[in-house]
């Protein structure tokens, strides 16, 4: 048998790399890049659904939405829901990771159950939650009532503030398993000897947690939060199914409002403007977090944390 003397494709790493990346690249460009660019373009147009006319509108769409109290409210809600749910997630995930780290009977089952919210389709989960928050059958209310803690009645999805709280809870519930798994992985990457050194050095549980473990977890938590922020800020399903933006447009977040205006209301230009409004902010947040993660990793050449 002779060995071919010619170079084959497998020998040419420069070409091979490109060839293997091409399918993924094509996929991302066609299904993410093009619609994304299209959305940005739409934001500056007066295009409407059901018509093929396309005219430049400049910044008119942005002027309109910035003068619109419903949009401003949705923007505020988006920020509240994203920040609120992520704060909740970080606290819960860190606590849960501590629990899941210790060995106990049925830990494998518990870990599996933990991951369920992550695997359940959003729509299905949101429907279950509408029942939990139902104005008549709310399990929360009945439980509180039975425990003697509640005297009136909570209209979870009927009261704007409570509805927002409900949305935060559901969003946190969705991201929490994923964050826990990430934090758990981060915890197990902390060398046991460092934790023991802290114990011998006289640090109690809280000092160990806040001075040793959390700082070492920071890069990992930053990544988890980054994912959480993106997932929550861009999510349409939870709010759409839970409240549909109601009552009286008080619980809209940007994605639901964009959907309402752009698709249901047929004003594609304005919908697109709403949808991409948060983009610059999200990019700034993402860059900030990635830098934070990186800085902690290399020990902050100059900066203390």
Partner 1 sequence: MAGIEIRSLRKHFGDLHAVDGVDLSIRDGEFLVLLGSSGSGKTTLLRMIAGLERPTSGEIHIGDQRVDGDVPPRARGIAMVFQSYALYPHRTVFQNIAFPLEASRTPRKQIEEKVRWAAELFSITRYLDRYPRQLSGGERQRVALCRALVRDPKVFLLDEPLANLDAKLRNTARDDLKRFQRQIQTTTVYVTHDQVEAMGLGDRIVVMEHGKVRQIGTPQEVYEDPVDTFVATFVGQPPMNLLDAGDPSLPPRTLTGFRPEHFLPKSVFGAGEDLRTFRFAVRRVEYLGSDRYVYGSIAGSGAPDATIIAKLPATITLGIPEGETHEFAVPRRALRYFDTETGLRRKG
Q: Which of 70, 198, 230, 290 binds partner 1 (CB under 8 A)?
A: 198
Q: What is the dihedral of CA 235, 242, 114, 172, to 10 degrees?
A: 60
Question: Is residue 202 at the binding interface for partner 1, with CB under 8 A as the rule?
Answer: yes
Question: Is residue 148 at the binding interface for partner 1, with CB under 8 A as the rule?
Answer: no
Which of 234, 240, 244, 238 has the alpha carbon at shortest distance from 278?
Answer: 234
Question: Is residue 216 at the binding interface for partner 1, with CB under 8 A as the rule?
Answer: yes
Cβ contacts of 183 within 8 Å, gap of 6 or more: 93, 94, 96, 97, 217, 220, 221, 224
Question: Is residue 204 at the binding interface for partner 1, with CB under 8 A as the rule?
Answer: yes
* Contact range with partner 1 by CB under 8 A, out of 52-60, 88-96, 138-146, 196-204: 196-204
**3-class secondary-structure state, position 256:** helix
C-beta of 67 vs 204, nearer to partner 1:
204
Question: Is residue 199 at the binding interface for partner 1, with CB under 8 A as the rule?
Answer: yes
Question: Is residue 305 at the binding interface for partner 1, with CB under 8 A as the rule?
Answer: yes
> What are the structure tokens assigned to 159, written together?
């009261």
Which of 106, 111, 120 has the alpha carbon at shortest distance from 180?
Answer: 111
Q: What is the CA radius of gyration of the chain?
A: 24
**Minimum distance between the CB of residue 197 and partner 1, rounded to whole angstroms?**
4
Residue 75: CB atoms within 10 A of its CB come to 21
**Minimum distance between the CB of residue 214 and partner 1, rounded to whole angstroms?**
10
Site for partner 1 in 222-261 (CB under 8 A): none
Q: How many residues bind partner 1 (CB under 8 A)?
A: 23
**Minimum distance between the CB of residue 119 and partner 1, rounded to whole angstroms?**
34
Residue owning tokens 């007066």: 46
Question: C-alpha distances in angstroms, 200 versus 98, 112, 153, 154, 204?
Answer: 20, 34, 52, 50, 10
Report cis status (omega within 30 of 0) of the bond before 247.
yes
* Contact range with partner 1 by CB under 8 A, out of 11-19, 33-41, 214-222, 236-244: 214-222
Question: Is residue 203 at the binding interface for partner 1, with CB under 8 A as the rule?
Answer: yes
Question: Is residue 293 at the binding interface for partner 1, with CB under 8 A as the rule?
Answer: no
C-beta of 169 vs 183, nearer to partner 1:
183
Residue owning tokens 């018509």: 51
End-to-end C-alpha distance for the chain, whole angstroms = 63
Q: Which of 45, 86, 260, 296 binds partner 1 (CB under 8 A)?
A: 296
> What are the structure tokens assigned to 73, written together?
């409210």
Question: Is residue 99 at the binding interface for partner 1, with CB under 8 A as the rule?
Answer: no
Residue 108: CB atoms within 10 A of its CB come to 8
Question: Is residue 197 at the binding interface for partner 1, with CB under 8 A as the rule?
Answer: yes
* Contact range with partner 1 by CB under 8 A, out of 24-32, 88-96, 191-199, 236-244: 191-199
CA distance 230 to 211: 28
* Contact range with partner 1 by CB under 8 A, out of 112-120, 205-213, 247-255, 267-275: 205-213
Q: Which of 137, 191, 284, 286 binds partner 1 (CB under 8 A)?
A: 191
Residues that bind partner 1 (CB under 8 A): 191, 193-194, 196-204, 207, 211-212, 215-216, 218, 296, 299-300, 304-305
């Amino acid at each position: 048998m002779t060995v071919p003397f010619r170079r084959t494709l497998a020998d040419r790493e420069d070409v091979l790399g490109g060839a293997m990346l091409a399918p993924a690249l094509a996929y991302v460009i066609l299904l993410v890049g093009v619609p994304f660019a299209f959305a940005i373009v739409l934001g500056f147009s007066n295009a409407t659904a059901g018509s093929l006319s396309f005219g430049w509108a400049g910044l008119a769409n942005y002027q309109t939405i910035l003068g619109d109290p419903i949009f401003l409210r949705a923007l505020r809600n988006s920020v509240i829901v994203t920040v609120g749910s992520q704060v909740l997630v970080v606290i819960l995930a860190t606590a849960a990771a501590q629990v899941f780290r210790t060995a106990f009977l049925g830990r494998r089952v518990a870990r599996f159950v933990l991951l369920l919210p992550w695997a359940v389709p959003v729509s299905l989960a949101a429907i279950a939650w509408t029942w939990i928050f139902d104005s008549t059958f709310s399990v929360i209310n009945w439980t509180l009532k039975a425990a003697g803690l509640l005297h009136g009645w909570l209209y979870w999805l009927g009261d704007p503030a409570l509805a927002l709280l409900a949305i935060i809870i559901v969003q946190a519930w969705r991201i929490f398993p994923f964050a826990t798994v990430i934090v758990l992985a981060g915890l197990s990457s902390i060398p046991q000897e460092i934790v023991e050194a802290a114990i011998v050095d006289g640090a109690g549980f809280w000092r160990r947690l806040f001075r040793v473990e959390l700082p070492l977890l920071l890069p990992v938590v930053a990544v988890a939060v980054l994912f959480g922020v993106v997932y929550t800020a861009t999510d349409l399903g939870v709010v759409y199914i839970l409240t549909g933006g109601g009552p009286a447009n008080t619980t809209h977040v940007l994605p639901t409002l964009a959907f309402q205006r752009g698709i249901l209301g047929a004003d594609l230009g304005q919908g697109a403007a709403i949808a991409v409004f948060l983009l610059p902010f999200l990019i700034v947040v993402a860059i900030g977090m990635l830098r934070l993660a990186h800085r902690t990793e290399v020990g902050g050449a100059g900066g203390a944390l």
